[in-house]
Amino acid sequence: MHMRKLMMAALTAILLLPLSHAAASAAATPISKTTADHSKFKVLDQDFASGPEVTKACLTCHTEASKQIHQTQHWTWEFTNQQTGQLLGKKHIVNNFCTSVKSNEAACNSCHIGYGWKDDSFDFTSQENVDCLACHDHTGKYKKPSGFAGNPVVKDTEFPAGSGKVIRGINLKEIAQKVGPTQRTTCGACHFNGGGGDGVKHGDLDSSLDAPDKALDVHMDTQGNNFTCATCHKTDGHQVPGSRYAPTAKDKAPAHLRGKADTSNPATCQSCHGQAPHPVARLNEHTAKIACQTCHVPAFARGGQPTKMSWDWSTAGKLDKNGKPMSVKNEDGYDTYMTIKGDFVWKENVIPEYVWFNGTVNYTLQTDKIVKSDKPVQINRFEGSATDGKSMIWPVKIFRGKQVYDPVNQQLVITHLAGNDDTAFWKNFNWDKAVAAGMTTAKLPFSGKLDFIETESAWPITHMVAPKDKALTCTDCHANNGRLEKVDGLYMPGRSRDHMAGLDKVAWSVMALVLLGVLGHGLIRVFVGKRNHT
């Protein structure tokens, strides 16, 4: 019997040996997440002289991709807001960063997912003008330098001409053979650098999210959930949900279920966490009026990369002691002054400001008339109130600027800071020259008169979600000068602006009476108990 057991054990070991070896081999060999190895495609085994040549090769297999891209905001840079009727997009609105894409296309359009958009002659119907590599590069080597209208540089090129500065060419064949799904780095190549540099515009989007830890973002944590941008902004036919032109301020839909038809925004917190995410009922009651981000993003620009908080164009034009354009940097190496741009203020670990927001954003357009007053111009005004039934209290970054204004035409003006003409790299900054070139290229009237006007723009804070133990506590808001001190339309116990002496006296009186009642009740029970005992 004992010998029989030994034989069976040996036979089992022999039979399992190949299986164990196979399992070990499989474990040692990482499995690709894509079903295609692009280095094996013959059409990509060639030297490409331009971006459109790469796209032409991509379209031999991905036959409908460019047609899908043509229908997206990423391609058109336009959006019609059905609530306000405004035609929006980078071609139409004014901002208080570099003022507008218009007149600066050769530089700004390096973030367009196309090739060659340098002016109004760009062909938006061309399938080969679509840039596949911008979103699908997996080498980290793909670059579209400023000044080339969204084209990559494929051979070493001196730029600007005569400057002695050389931009190194990149190997498009190598990049095309290693494409894959979008990553944080590919989305971030543009979205982390909005407004002219890393972290400049949004505050909650910067290069620290390339590989964040849990403390910075619980969703993108590379050692944890490891979300990419597309995990939440899940595309359908290249359409990316989560518009900043018309955000979802209040999502009352249930959590999304895979396979179920759903027209709501999959990029909201509620789409995953539902309407009652907390184990405590009182906290769930807060979700009726307070956006998740208000408590769970306690600060922005907290990954070590500061964000720009203000920009004063009125100080531009100062020259150094040699009469040359200059720049001044702070101790961390960030520009705090530039001759052609003025003064900047950078900050880290910024506490957001808070506003009522119902999802409607009104933008200042290039053609809008603006009457100068003692109040800043709202570049993008977040609509909402405590009583409209559609608003939530949202955290926002308020970016403050002082920019050029035409007092005769009563318009914000477009400045020309980059391009392929002789005004792009002037030796001495000249406001009249910069503004006249910008307005002419943007095909807008300019009176020749210059003034400056204060502006504000708002950006919703929704990334850099902190771990739950770092979320706001009750006392962050229910306290004198707390987080929501400036928010109108609500009564909040503990808030200094809601302090009412008469009401406080009544409240304290009631509490005193309650205390006396409790003490009296206790004394009576003691007295009665002693009498009964005797």
SS (H, E, C) 108-136: HHHHCCECCCCCCCCCCCCCCCECCHHHH
Cα separation, 432 vs 420, in Å, equals: 19
pLDDT band at 13 (very low <50, low <70, confident <90, very high): very low
Q: Which of 24-28, 127-131, 402-406 has the highest mean pLDDT?
A: 127-131
Q: State residue 361 phi and psi, 5-degree precision.
A: -120, 125
pLDDT recorded at residue 19: 43
* pLDDT given for residue 459 in this prediction: 95
Q: Which residues does residue 394 pair with via DSSP β-bridges, in sequence order?
A: 355
pLDDT for the residue 11: 44
Q: Give 239's DSSP letter.
A: B
Mean predicted confidence (pLDDT) in 76-89: 91
Residues 351-365, mean pLDDT to the nearest whole number: 95
Give 133-167 as a DSSP string. HHHH--SS-----TTSTTPPP-S-EESSTTS--EE
> Do residues 68 and 236 touch, judged by C-beta distance below 8 A?
no
Q: What is the pLDDT of residue 516?
A: 81
Q: What is the mean pLDDT of the chain?
A: 88
Contact in structure between 102 and 89 (CB atoms under 8 Å): no
Q: What are phi and psi of 68, to 5 degrees?
A: -65, -45
- pLDDT at position 71: 97
pLDDT tens-digit map of 198-253: 999 999 999 999 999 999 999 999 999 999 999 999 999 999 999 888 899 999 98
* pLDDT value, residue 34: 76
The rounded percent of the chain whose pLDDT value lies above 90 is: 64
* Structure confidence by residue, pLDDT tens digits, 186-201: 999 999 999 989 999 9
Whether residue 7 is predicted with pLDDT greater than 70 in this model: the reply is: no
Q: What is the pLDDT of residues 145-169, one digit of tens each?
A: 998 999 999 999 998 888 889 999 9
More confident position, 416 or 36: 36
Nearest to 353 by CA among 417, 299, 404, 410: 299
Report pLDDT for 518. Answer: 77
- Residue 64 clears pLDDT 80, i.e. is over it: yes
Q: Which of 17, 22, 16, 60 is nearest to 38 (CA)?
A: 60
> Does 21 have pLDDT greater than 70?
no
114-118, 369-373, 522-526: range with lowest mean pLDDT: 522-526
The answer to whether residues 364 and 378 touch, using CB atoms and an 8 Å cutoff, is yes
113's CB contacts (< 8 A; 6+ apart) are 69, 74, 75, 130, 131, 134, 135
Say if residue 501's pLDDT is above 70: no
In tens, the pLDDT along 402-444 reads: 999 999 999 999 888 875 555 444 456 677 777 877 787 778 8
Q: Give 264-313 pLDDT, tens digit per residue.
A: 888 999 999 999 999 999 999 999 999 999 999 999 999 999 999 999 99
pLDDT at 439: 82
pLDDT at 503 over 90: no
Contact present, 400 and 310 (Cβ < 8 Å): yes
